[in-house]
Amino acid sequence: MAASTRTEAAKSALRQQTIELPSWAFGNSGTRFKVFGQPGVPRDPFEKLADAAQVHQYTGVAPRVSLHIPWDLVDDFSGLARHAEDLGVQIGMINSNVFQDDDFMLGSLAHPDPRVRAKAVDHHKQCIDVMRATGSKDLKVWLSDGLNYPGQDSIRARQDRIAESLAEIYGALDDDQHMVLEYKFFEPAFYITDVPDWGTSLLHVMALGDRAKVVLDTGHHAPGTNIEFIVAQLLRQGRLGAFDFNSRFYADDDLMVGAADPFQLFRIMHEIVLAGAHAPDSGVNFMLDQCHNIEPKIPAQIRSVMNVQEATAKALLVDVEALTAAQLAGDVLGAHAVLMDAYDTDVRPLVAEVREEMGLDPNPRAAFAASGYAEKVAAERVGGAQAGWGA
């Protein structure tokens, strides 16, 4: 394929790309030691959606907002969905939360006590009701369940309890609804996390059925883990349901995606593009899962979306024919060079062109800053409690 054709194909793919935003990134989150407030932080899900809509307004590729229950509990979820519609966005995945209830201290779906497991299953059924009310088709499950000390509980029995509980939740889904199961290698548990890795999540979702897939959070792997290998494997199984994009230097830092390791993000998007999983109908949901503890939240989300666009653009510019030829010829350096040529390409002008063709300002960050929105909400949102994790 000629380079010019590849560029046009890349621009067309970038115009169709969508990135889902986390409602909780617009509220306060914190470090282990302190939650820092910021002026103008939303006080409720309606204001969170308004801020998320700003990201879509200036990037054009962030039309969905993922909700977290109970952080985004409201009396009228169909009203919230209409509010989203009025803002030009939609409600995306519904996240359950079994990591902040006293009853779940020793686990939720894995808890030794069947009454506690039943409570956790009921919470997920409540989330499914929220999906029905908002039109969301996806339930996102992350279990903080785990152990801190050897012997604390039976590793095997906990897996059986999780399998049984997940089956009950999966059974409660409507036929057009899906479930994605997230894994994380540690935290808050420090000895064993019951769903610690892609293999465990994959085993559980394959046991459930076709409408269950894996969520890959880029901050949830042991240091040194080759994440693009996991991406390739899950795509090969047709079980990659979603990404929680962020970046990290050490642990689950939840920093802006691409900030800590832009090359890793590129390698991940390369595997995605090779499999055609960047296409809107691929069934892979590209979401952000980040916390902006010290930086302004809307600009940080805009920057993060831009980082995903740029990594995707570089991946779309890989000369796959030349790469494959070099790989099959055993030309190690030749193959590596083809990939690095794409990675070393400054794609910012290309992505800016795509924005202009979409009728947007080529520089979303500057356009948002010039809008005065941040100052407006800082002045308006006085009083009430700023939204947060409530931890």
Site membership for ligand LRH, residue 194 (CB under 6 A): no
Sign of CA pseudo-dihedral 123, 125, 130, 131: positive
The stretch near Mn ion (CB under 5 A) out of 72-80, 221-229, 244-252, 265-273 is 244-252
DSSP states of 128-185: HHHHHHHT--EEEEE---EESSTTSS-HHHHHHHHHHHHHHHHHHS-TT-EEEEE--S
Write down the H helix ranges in the chain: 3-16, 45-59, 77-87, 114-134, 155-172, 198-208, 227-237, 262-274, 297-316, 320-328, 332-343, 348-357, 364-371, 373-380
Site membership for ligand LRH, residue 221 (CB under 6 A): no
Site membership for ligand LRH, residue 217 (CB under 6 A): yes
Identity of the residue, 68 or 270, whose beta carbon is nearer to Mn ion in the bound complex: 68
Please state whether beta strands 192-193 and 212-217 pair in parallel, antiparallel, or not at all (unpaired): unpaired
Identity of the residue, 254 or 271, whose beta carbon is nearer to Mn ion in the bound complex: 254
Distance (Å, rounded) from C-alpha 203 to C-alpha 182?
12
Identity of the residue, 291 or 316, whose beta carbon is nearer to ligand LRH in the bound complex: 291
191 Cβ contact list (under 8 Å, min separation 6) = 146, 147, 148, 149, 150, 152
What is the total count of residues that contact ligand LRH (CB under 6 A)? Answer: 9
The option from Mn ion, ligand LRH, none interacting with 247 (CB < 5 to 8 A, set by class) reads none
Query: b vs e for 244-263, b when ≥16 Cβ sit within 10 Å of the residue's Cβ?
Result: bbbbbeeebbbbbbbbbbbe
Half-sphere exposure of 329 (CA within 13 A, CB side): 12
Identity of the residue, 97 or 134, whose beta carbon is nearer to Mn ion in the bound complex: 97
Report in angstroms how near the CB of residue 298 gets to ligand LRH at its nearest: 18
Residue 225 identity: T
The option from Mn ion, ligand LRH, none interacting with 153 (CB < 5 to 8 A, set by class) reads none
Among 271, 289, 310, 361, the residue binding Mn ion under the rule CB under 5 A is 289
**Which has the closest alpha carbon to 51: 106, 95, 89, 12?**
89
Sign of CA pseudo-dihedral 243, 244, 250, 256: positive
Report in angstroms how near the CB of residue 99 gets to ligand LRH at its nearest: 7
Report in angstroms how near the CB of residue 246 gets to ligand LRH at its nearest: 8
Site membership for ligand LRH, residue 142 (CB under 6 A): yes
Q: Are 222 and 172 in contact (CB under 8 A)?
A: no
Among 44, 72, 194, 252, the residue binding ligand LRH under the rule CB under 6 A is 252
Question: Within 26-45, which residues bind ligand LRH (CB under 6 A)?
Answer: none
Among 217, 271, 310, 361, the residue binding Mn ion under the rule CB under 5 A is 217
Q: Are 28 and 386 in contact (CB under 8 A)?
A: yes
Identity of the residue, 138 or 252, whose beta carbon is nearer to ligand LRH in the bound complex: 252
Report in angstroms how near the CB of residue 45 gets to Mn ion at its nearest: 19
Which single residue brings its beta carbon nearest to ligand LRH? 142
Please state whether beta strands 285-288 and 240-245 pair in parallel, antiparallel, or not at all (unpaired): parallel
Token pair 């920057």: residue:
303
Report in angstroms how near the CB of residue 182 gets to ligand LRH at its nearest: 5
Site membership for Mn ion, residue 252 (CB under 5 A): no
Among 244, 252, 271, 310, the residue binding Mn ion under the rule CB under 5 A is 244
Sign of CA pseudo-dihedral 181, 257, 29, 132: negative
Which single residue brings its beta carbon nearest to Mn ion? 244
3-state secondary structure of 346: coil
Report in angstroms how near the CB of residue 219 gets to ligand LRH at its nearest: 7
Report in angstroms how near the CB of residue 125 gets to ligand LRH at its nearest: 18
Question: Within 164-193, which residues bind ligand LRH (CB under 6 A)?
Answer: 182, 184
Binding residues for Mn ion, rule: CB under 5 A, are 217, 244, 289
Binding residues for ligand LRH, rule: CB under 6 A, are 24, 95, 142, 182, 184, 217, 244, 252, 289
